[in-house]
């Protein structure tokens, strides 16, 4: 009788124990890790020197004197240096009439270089990949870019492929969010994410200032990475995804229209960057921070901020709005060790730094990436990450905050935990004389060579075709 009672009482406990084990095992397989990643670095003959950039600008016969002066000012203040890269057709003088093959070749060059090196370094076989996500915003082709990768590397017939386009500079975090969702429903998966942008068919040859600005900012680049939820590969992984938040303001007309691929008055297609972009980006940024802050910051910091905000509001109600005018700020450094910022431009980096109260040390990786590689769209974040890694800043247990902006208008952010100490092995920054960064000055040499444009009053005096 006692034996039966023991079984009766223990069975529910055993059942609950099994449920708990199953829950923990399921949670263990739902984690998302970056196993490794590979950045793309074109050959040195693709570097945009000051002289060659000037030649490209002068080849555009649609520009007037005011446009030349505008471009000079934009390039000098952009934060971009002389060692960024451009597609081959720029060096062949065909930027105004590229072919479809030019665009495909640009993409395949990135794929072959980054994916090939990544597979070799990790030892992962192409037929081991379960999920493939490719994000390239401004090129859609048939068959898709993901299909081209599957064909080249002879991946399995049941590999799940996703091809994202039109998602803007924040697309890489969207791709990771997609992989994260798949990991929640499937165990022991290997996913490859390829993030890049196609510049070849998107050079703007008109004279609309809101469109020629993109010619100054965007450069060639790309990144391939392998993510996994296999518990057996955790010890080899580099980063663990903790939180990912996406904010989309596309329902607001002002936000929707501030970054837009469209035609100018002459029918030339270009990428319009509107004057409302800074305000739109700020709103999306603030909304994103409101959602992610409670998920990544310690409770003591949230309580401190809430107490100061309440005290300020109370005092203002008593003494008037002019009293205690300075708003309290959340100290994000209480829960974050490193900041990986989108290199949308010098103004973008400075604005985010001011909003988060970051030091020059905090924004150095973003500023150096912009200077060395330019804005490589969705892959920019990973060049910033590569800089941190090669500088040996990333230690086990550190928290890394990524934030990016994109057309739509979108603001996406996430928090990674560093799984092991990283030394930057196999990183393209190793080939960039990393010891020389940061340089003593980021002054762009365009002013030294083309500053005389400010003193010109008549375009007829310029030897545009020299």
Residues annotated as catalytic (active site), given as ranges: 169, 248, 338, 342, 371, 375
CA distance 364 to 349: 10
DSSP at 341: E
| Cα separation, 194 vs 192, whole angstroms | 7
Q: To which residue do tokens 């109600």 refer?
A: 317
Closest C-alpha among 420, 429, 439 to residue 238 = 420
Give CA–CA dist 293/96, Å, rounded: 45
Dist CA 118 CA 218 (whole Å): 24
Distance CA 254, CA 233 (A): 45
**How do 399-406 and 338-341 pair as beta strands?**
parallel
Which residues face 225 on adjacent strands? 37, 193
Residue 340 φ then ψ, to 5°: -110, 100
Residue 143 preceded by cis peptide, ω within 30? yes
Cα distance between residue 335 and residue 332, in whole Å: 6
Q: 271 φ, ψ to 5°?
A: -105, 110
**Cα distance between residue 219 and residue 77, in whole Å:** 16
Helix (H, G, I), strand (E, B) or coil at 144: coil
Q: Which two tokens stand for residue 84?
A: 């960024």
Cβ-count burial 302-315 (b if 16+ within 10 Å, e if not): eeebeeeeeebeee
């Amino acid at each position: 009788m006692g034996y039966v009672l023991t079984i009766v009482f223990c069975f529910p406990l055993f059942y609950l124990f099994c449920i708990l084990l199953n829950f923990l095992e399921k949670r263990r397989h739902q984690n998302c890790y970056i196993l490794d990643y590979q950045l793309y670095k074109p050959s040195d003959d693709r570097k945009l020197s000051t002289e060659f950039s000037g030649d490209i600008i002068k080849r555009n016969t649609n520009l007037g004197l005011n446009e030349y002066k505008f471009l000079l000012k934009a390039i000098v203040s952009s934060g971009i240096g002389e060692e960024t890269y451009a597609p081959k057709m720029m060096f062949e003088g065909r930027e105004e009439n590229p072919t479809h093959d030019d665009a495909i070749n640009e993409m395949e060059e990135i794929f072959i270089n980054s994916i090939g090196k990544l597979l070799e370094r990790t030892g992962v076989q192409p037929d081991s990949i379960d999920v493939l996500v490719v994000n390239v915003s401004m090129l859609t082709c048939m068959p898709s870019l993901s299909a081209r990768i599957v064909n080249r590397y002879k991946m399995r017939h049941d590999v799940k492929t996703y091809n994202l386009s039109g998602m803007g500079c924040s697309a890489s975090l969207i791709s990771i969010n997609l992989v994260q969702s798949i990991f929640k429903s499937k165990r022991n998966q290997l996913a490859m994410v390829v993030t890049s942008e196609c510049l070849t068919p998107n050079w703007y040859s008109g004279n609309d200032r809101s469109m020629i600005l993109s010619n100054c900012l965007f450069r060639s680049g790309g990144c391939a990475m392998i993510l996994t939820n296999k518990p057996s590969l955790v010890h080899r992984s580099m980063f663990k995804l903790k939180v990912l938040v996406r904010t989309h303001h596309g329902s607001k007309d002002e936000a929707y229209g501030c970054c837009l691929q469209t035609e100018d008055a002459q029918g030339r297609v270009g990428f319009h960057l509107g004057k409302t972009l800074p305000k739109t980006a700020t709103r999306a940024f603030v909304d994103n921070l409101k959602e992610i802050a409670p998920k990544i910051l310690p409770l003591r910091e949230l309580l401190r901020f809430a107490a100061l905000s309440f005290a300020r509001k109370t005092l203002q109600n008593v003494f008037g709005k002019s009293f205690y005018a300075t708003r309290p700020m959340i100290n994000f450094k209480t829960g974050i060790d490193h900041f990986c910022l989108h290199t949308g431009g010098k103004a973008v980096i400075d604005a985010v730094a001011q909003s988060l109260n970051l030091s020059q040390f905090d924004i150095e990786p973003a500023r150096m990436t912009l200077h060395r590689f330019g804005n490589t769209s969705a892959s920019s974040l990973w060049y910033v990450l590569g800089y941190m890694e090669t500088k040996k800043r990333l230690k086990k247990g550190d928290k890394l905050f990524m934030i990016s902006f994109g057309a739509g208008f979108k603001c996406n952010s996430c928090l990674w935990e560093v799984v092991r100490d990283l030394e930057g092995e196999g990183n393209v920054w190793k080939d960039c004389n990393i010891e020389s960064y940061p340089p003593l000055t980021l002054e762009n040499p365009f002013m030294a060579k083309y500053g005389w444009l400010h003193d010109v009053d008549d375009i007829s005096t310029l030897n545009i075709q020299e």
